[in-house]
Each structure stands twice: as C-alpha cells, then as structure tokens.
A and B are shown apart, each in its own frame.
Chain A
Amino acid sequence: MRGSAATQPSDPSIDSGLLSMQGVTCRYPGRNGEAALDALDLLVRSGEFVSVLGQSGSGKTTMLRVIAGFERVQAGEVQVSGRVVSSATRHIPPEERRVGLVFQDYALFPHLTVEQNVLFGLKWVNQGERSAAVRPIVEMTGLAGLAGRYVHELSGGQQQRVALARSLATRPVALLLDEPFSNLDRQLRASLRREVRTIVKASATTAILVTHDREEALAIADRVAVMGRGKILQIDTPEAIYSMPATPEVARMVGPTDTLPGTIAGNLVETEAGRFRFRAPAGGVTDGQRVDVVLRAHELEFGPGADGSDMRVAYREFRGEFTQYGIILPSGVTVRVRRRSLAPVMDGTRVRITAPFDRPVLVYPSSPAV
C-alpha cells in the first residue's frame, strides 16, 4: 500500500525509477565537523545501473545508507520516485522507502532458511502465493535447490545470491549494492558480476553499486560515478569517464597512472619523459602553460634510447598478456610502461618513451600546492 503511493510520481514528467540527491550533506558527530557527504548531487535514471567508485573513506557507503534511510541528512534532499524521502526536516523510515540494500556482509538472517530469507520482505503476498511469487527470482538467482537450507550451509557465492534474491523479491524501486563482491575470490567475483548485472537488468530494477574496485565499477555499470571527499567528482559512461577523466584524481581512480609535470609547447606537451601529443582539458590550455601530465602505462611504448639517454629500465614484471616495465627518469621518478612483446628488455637498458600517434596523453592545469 505504501509502495503504491511511492511508485506513483507526483510529477508525470519524471520517470518512475528516478532517484535524486541534491546538495546532500551528512555529518557524523565528533569528526571535527568533517562531512561524510558534502553537498552531494546525483541523479539516477529509471532502469539504470550506476556504479559508484571511491576509495575507502570517500563517503560512498554513507551515500547508500542515506538513500536507504539509515543515516539522516543535515542539508539537501533525497528523492525516490519523485517523493522526498530525506531532507533536513524530513526522514522517511527505511521500511517505507522501497529501496533494497544488499550488504557487503550479506546480513542474511541466520535463524531462517534460504526460502524464509527470500520471502521475508513479502509481507503483503498471501500465504499460498508466497512461494509462487518468488519462484522466478529464486530460479533466476540459481537458488532453486537450496530453499530449505540454512544460510550457514551455503558457500559465499550462494549467500550473495540469497542476499540479492531477498532484496529483489520485494520489487524495490532501487537496489543498492554495497561492495557486494568484496568477500568473494577473484574468479567467482567476475562471473557473479556478470550474473548480477544480468539479473538486475532482467528485473528492470534501477541499481546503484558501490565499490573500490575500478575494474568492477567499469565493467558492470551503465554509468560510473567517481566519488571523493564526500562529493561526486564525475559521472559518465564507463568509456567516457575512462577516456576523458575530469581531473587527475579521477584518472588515477579509473586506471593505473603516473603523473609528471609538463609544459605546453604548441601542440605538444614537454615532460622529463619526452614530448607527447595531448588531449586538451575542458578549459583548454595556452602555450607555455605549466600542466600535470597523466601517463597510462598501456598507452605508452618505449624503444632503444640514444647513448646519451638518461632513462633506464628499473624493473620488469612479466604478467602474461603483457610485460610491465618501470622506467626511471633522471629525477628519480619511475614511469610504468606496458609492452605486449615477449622479448624481454634487460634492467639497466637505456630507453626512450614514446606515445602512439592515436593515444594523446591527458593534461590538466597544474595544481600549485600539490
């Protein structure tokens, strides 16, 4: 009943799965007034799968808990389906939000069986229809044979599926996933990731997934929001965010990078490691401007250096599909470069770093203090 009110948006022009956060600030007492969420804005469209990438302490879990209703906000507004659920003066309790939260530790009910866990949220379905109501979800999540088991009798992956099924069974307006794969091993993580995306998409649920794993964030989502210091730093499609990170900080978070100071010289940027073509940032750059140059290991190459070259191979790591080299510059800074070639280049070899013609490097106006 409460649900039906929530799914009927007051403004028909806003689509029904929409979730928005405007200027949301959330502070914990006794942390020197430092805000966990600092005037945060976020908009998620209906049916969209958004991942939130952030380091530990960036406020990403707090954001989920604010949406789910477990933390109160001091300023700003959270809307779910066009209804204000959180503001400085208003706080809808979690149970009336129709937002499903999947916890990092799954938080399954240890006193209930798998089936009872999944049925837990379905209080409005009558007794006879309960099993039928969740059967599609149970099958979709591959739990069909496990209904009578207790959760301690399941493997980690199975527990994860139960947690997902339990949340989806209530048909939430939005599904929030808090680092759902962090307790699983690598192989399982990748396959379960695909599976979760398929399940969420098949159930047409809007989802927000929080993670500190960039590969996971990029692989699973329609859009990626990069978070830092309680704010969304950038939100865009995985491809766009990867190719055009708004700041060096975002760039660092979506892939391994090394940063060098450089100077703009015409259509090239001059650095200690060499001169490269560059992609101009949003504000543009002027000739002679000091910039920060962000270098990505797999977008660089190196060749034999001249005898006078003062760049040398510092170390070599064979990784199978590529070999990663550390190239030490005269200033002592090391730049990572990846090569597909199987022929090893020995440590100490003098080299020269280049960038392929179609891979311009990223430059950003240099931040004076850092």
Chain B
Amino acid sequence: MWRTGAAALLAMLAIGGIAGCGGRSEETLVVYSGRSETLVAPIIKQFSDLTGIKTEVKYGDTAALASTLLEEGAKSPADVFFAQDPGGLGAARPLLATLPSSIRGRVPEWASALDGTWVGISGRARVVVYNNRVLTEADLPDSIAGFTDPAWKGKIGWAPTNGSFLSMVTAMRQVWGEDATEQWVRGIQANGPRSYSGNTAVVQAVGSGEVQVGFVNHYYLHRFLAEQGESFPARNYYTRSADPGSVLLIAGVGILKSSKNKANAEKFVEFLIGTVAQQYFASQTFEHPLVGGVVRAPGIPELSNIKRPEIDVSQLSDLSGTQALLRRVGAIP
C-alpha cells in the first residue's frame, strides 16, 4: 500500500520537476550572475518590472560560472554574464560580444575592458579594516607598504586565496613592479599574518580582536555595521597615499556572443548603468557607483576622494602571474 503511495509521490515529483523547467520562451533573458542573489536579485526584479522583459538568473560563484560558460561554449543558454570581478569576465572573454559604443561611452574607460567586451557596473575599494578599540586611523601607515614593519607582527589578517586580494596584488605588480611586490608579500609573511578564507572572516576577526588590521573590500564592514550596529568595533581606512592598497575593483557585465536575445541583453546592461540601478548599488549594497548623479550611503567617500593608483582595470584579470608569485613565496598552496 505505502509502496504504491511512495511510487506515486515520486512520479509526481519527477513530473513536477520536469514540467517546472519547461516553457521558457526565447524572449526570456538569461543572466548568469556571479554576484550574490542577496545583492542583485532586487535590482534584476526591478528591471523586469520596468521593462516587462522576463528574466531567469543562475546564481553561482563567478569562477564556477565562468568555467560553466567555457564548458557550454556556443551552446550556452546564457545571454548576459554579470561577474563579481574582471577575472571572471576575462576568462570568459572569448565568448563575449563587443558591446555597442552607446553603452561603453557611459562608463569610465578605466573601469571597462579595452576591447569593449564588458563594462564595469560598480566598484569595491580595497581598504584596511582596523579594530577601532585598539587603534586609531593615525596609528596606520600612509601606504599599505607600511605593514611590512615588524611592529605589525601577529596583528595582520588576510585572505590570500580570495579573488579580490589577488586582484590587489595584481595591481601592486602593475604599479610597483614584480620585485617590489614580492618584497611586500615576503614582508607581510614575515609578520606572521593569520590567513582567512575570505573578506567576511577577516572583518569578523578584526571585530572580535583576533587580529588588529585586515586587507579587505570596503563594503563588508558596512554590512556588519548594518546588522550589528555602530558598536561593531571596526572601521575602514582608505590609504592616504595613492597606492594599490586602495585600488578599486570592478564588478562588470558582458553579453554572450551566442545570445539570441541581444536586444534585451543590451537593455539590461543599459539599465544596470542607469541612475536607478547605480543608486541601488550605492545605497543598498554600499558599493561605489561608476556613473555620476548618485547619492552615496553614509560613511562611503566619493570616488574622487579616494587616492586610486593609476592602473588598467582590465589588466587585473591576469591573475596567473600573481598566483605564481604568491605560490613562489608560499602564501598560497
């Protein structure tokens, strides 16, 4: 008796499962998003509501999605790839179409691909997060280079395998050159930094006092502050000198060559660089908008107030050299 019941239930589940994923029309815009659902789902929904264009999103890790796109090749169901960092977009570049100049023209050149395959949408600044119960901003060195001072022994937290960290080291290689960068990594290594899996863990460790400073992206702190209140004992420090410690990392978007839905895909990209979406990123995800006319969240400085180093953002997608360097020094496996 219950066997029949179980069989019927399974059949129902199976049919439900297959029926549930059928019926997607050509019109539906398929987005592969390496950016977290928590961050971008509201703004994608707003796009659908405003334009009437249906969207389907596959969320995942940027690197895993880039690998997925590479496996799928020309048969990919995706129209748009919304990536967390230029690395993922760079890996998928052979599959990306050149964007129309109407789109490229609206995003600063330094925040887009030189070959026009992707444009930046929002920026995350690298900062030094510090525990403001034990330190003040005055205690911190002008440049991130200053943390190689033995005075910081045992006080530093980092996430050497994290993509944003690798991007920062890539920026260092561009600005400082290979040797100076290696010197810096060795100097930090000598101070016995505590390794964490990611930015969140570093910020948490700084807040709990496990370490005193950490190299992270700016917005993680703002989430801790939003959830735990202003008493969370950590603050961001944008380096006083224009160095790779304050480099701006870009989340960007590209359109797949294989897309059969390019018109809608372009509408989507245009929407993301429009005022509505840019305002959303500024006030809801605490990121740096890349186009003007947007009000910033409290505590987030204007882009012009950050001393950014002069670098080519699209070159930050070349991470293998950085990885080789870190591996040589022994910072990563």
A and B in direct contact, judged by CB atoms within 8 A: no
